[in-house]
Amino acid sequence: MTEELKKGLEGVLVAESSLSFIDGDAGELVYRGYTIDDLAKNATFEEVVYLLWHGELPTADELSDFKSSMAKERHLDDGVQRLVRDLAEADEEPMAALRTIISDLSAYDPDTDADPTDEAANLRKGRRITAKIPTALAAFSRIRNGNDPVEPHENLDHASNFLYMLNDEEPDDVLAETFDMALVLHADHGLNASTFSAMVTSSTLADLHAAVTSAVGALSGSLHGGANQDVMQALLELDESGKEPIGWVEDRLESGDRVPGFGHRVYNVKDPRAKILSAESEALGEAAGTPHWHEYSVSIEEYLGEEKGLAPNVDFYSASTYYQMGIPVDVYTPIFAMSRVGGWIAHVLEQYDDNRLIRPRARYVGPKDGTVTPIENR
């Protein structure tokens, strides 16, 4: 009997998880029993990370302690700072830089020699990795633009501190709340490619830094995290063309190009995160006097929905949201990593807790019955 081939592991169950649930037909996303709408409106990124790592939302005291412990880990060691500067001055691509930086963090981590499955040590490592990514990313972005890095601000929350370090000024409440919400929306999403990469790596009993480095590598591709950057570049192309959105889409499709930000491997309807970010993008545009970005997006969404039956994913509206916040386009995917690291670490902790080496098989379709010809006769 020939076993059914499932390319891309589509529809294959490989694990049980208590972290997040997706109903692709209903357009629902749940973290540990809480809907994404509820969390986006009523919980901060730090609360969501605590929920993912510890299984329940924190009390006020637990949240205060967690935020304080995260804030204390934001500083980069001198060696990491030198690496960030070297990568920025070499004009390295941001996701490649982030991948290298996270791997380097291992050399300075006090728990680097801990058993890979030591949960307490992994929670400490997780706090350090999660806290240091924004510092490294903001410093990298500033240095390549000829500016000095900005030291982290211990009294600001995770989202506000990143914007502060990126722009050298504290964000207003609207920007801070919008960015925090975006981080909440991206924190976890089932066994996506980057999360599964982290799980595969950790299943070998490699350490947490190795697992997160693997995840960053997977996220960098245009079919995963890189899509949000592609969306904004497409919207900028539309804006520069002077065409109406529908005509621009028709021209793009006729030339064989796809419109990024549409379709999803799991959702058969509109991504619930896209619904939330669409409203945020509209509000930002109205406040900044740049409503055209949201108007472009809505026109494209309506046309592709009616004509092609396609629905937008989270990348389609996160792109214009970030752009209106003044975030450089090629930093969008690293920001995705800045959020998703919370989910990666939670899944790695779950993998370690009930580990089995992940080792699928492939159906061999190559040649058979070969014999080696002596090298002088080849």
Question: Mean pLDDT per 10-residue run, the chain (378 residues)?
Answer: 79 92 93 97 98 98 98 98 98 97 98 97 98 98 97 96 97 94 96 96 98 97 85 94 94 90 85 93 90 94 93 90 92 96 98 95 93 96
Tell me if 363 is assigned to some domain. Answer: no
The answer as to whether 96 is a domain residue is yes
Q: Note the pLDDT of residue 11.
A: 81
Judged by phi (left if over 0) then psi (alpha if -120 to 50, else beta), residue 360 lies in beta
Spell 50-60 as b/e; 16+ CB within 10 A means b: bbbbeeebbee
Residue 95, pLDDT score: 96
- Same domain? For 210 and 240 the reply is no
Q: What pLDDT score does 1 carry?
A: 56
Please identify, among 273, 303, 323, the residue that sits at the C-terminal boundary of a domain.
Answer: 323
Q: What is the pLDDT of residue 288?
A: 86
How do strand 28-31 and strand 34-35 relate by DSSP bridges? antiparallel
In a domain, 33, yes or no: yes
Residues 152 and 73 in one domain: yes
Question: In the block, which residue shows the tokens 């307490």?
Answer: 120
Answer for the pair 338, 162: CB distance below 8 angstroms, yes or no.
Answer: yes
The rounded distance, in Å, linking the Cα atoms of 59 and 167 is 32
Ranges of H-type helices in the chain:
36-42, 45-54, 60-71, 78-89, 94-105, 119-144, 158-167, 173-186, 193-203, 208-219, 227-241, 245-254, 272-288, 292-308, 314-323, 332-353
Distance CA(358)–CA(378), nearest Å, equals 39
Any domain includes 358: no
How many structural domains comprise the chain?
2
Residues 215 and 261 in one domain: no
Any domain includes 245: yes
The number of residues in the chain equals 378
- Is 214:201 a contact under the CB 8 Å cutoff? yes
Q: What is the mean pLDDT of the chain?
A: 94
CA of 110: how far to CAs of 53, 73, 225, 338, 360, in Å? 20, 12, 30, 21, 34
Q: Catalytic pick from 189, 224, 294, 347?
A: 224
Check if the beta carbon of residue 45 is closer than 8 Å to that of residue 338: no
Q: Are residues 85 and 64 in the same domain?
A: yes
Same domain, 308 and 166: no
Reply yes or no on whether 264 is catalytic.
yes
Same domain, 135 and 47: yes
Catalytic, 186? Answer: no
CATH number of the domain residue 305 falls in: 1.10.230.10
Domain assignment present for 147: yes
Phi, psi of 168 (to 5 degrees): 60, 30
Q: Do residues 306 and 335 both lie within one domain?
A: no
Per the residue annotation, which of 264, 271, 294, 347 is the catalytic one?
264
Phi then psi for residue 17, to 5 deg, are -140, 145
pLDDT at 224: 84
| 21 assigned to some structural domain | no
- Summarize pLDDT for 167-176 with one digit per residue, the tens: 999 999 999 9
- For strands 34-35 and 20-23, give the pairing: unpaired
- pLDDT tens digits for range 146-194: 999 999 998 999 999 999 999 999 999 999 999 999 999 999 999 999 9
**Dist. CA 368–CA 348, nearest whole Å:** 39
Same domain, 62 and 177: yes
* Residue 94: domain span: 28-222+330-353
Active-site residue identified among 104, 207, 230, 315: 315
Closest C-alpha to 35, from 49, 46, 25, 21: 21
Q: Tell whether 280 and 209 lie within a shared domain.
A: no
Spatial distance between the Cα atoms of 305 and 344, rounded to a whole number of angstroms: 32
User: In this predicted structure, what is the pLDDT of residue 5?
Assistant: 84
Q: Cβ(116)–Cβ(200) under 8 Å? A: no
Please indicate, yes or no, whether residues 75 and 140 belong to a single structural domain of this protein: yes
Do 235 and 287 reside in the same domain of the chain?
yes
Nearest alpha-carbon partner for 96 in 261, 336, 333: 333
Whichever domain contains 129, its CATH number is 1.10.580.10
- Known active-site residue 257: no
Same domain, 56 and 129: yes
**Start-to-end C-alpha separation, the chain:** 38
Tell me the pTM. 0.94
Question: Is 273 within the bounds of a domain?
Answer: yes
CA-closest candidate to residue 337, choices 176, 99, 25, 51: 99
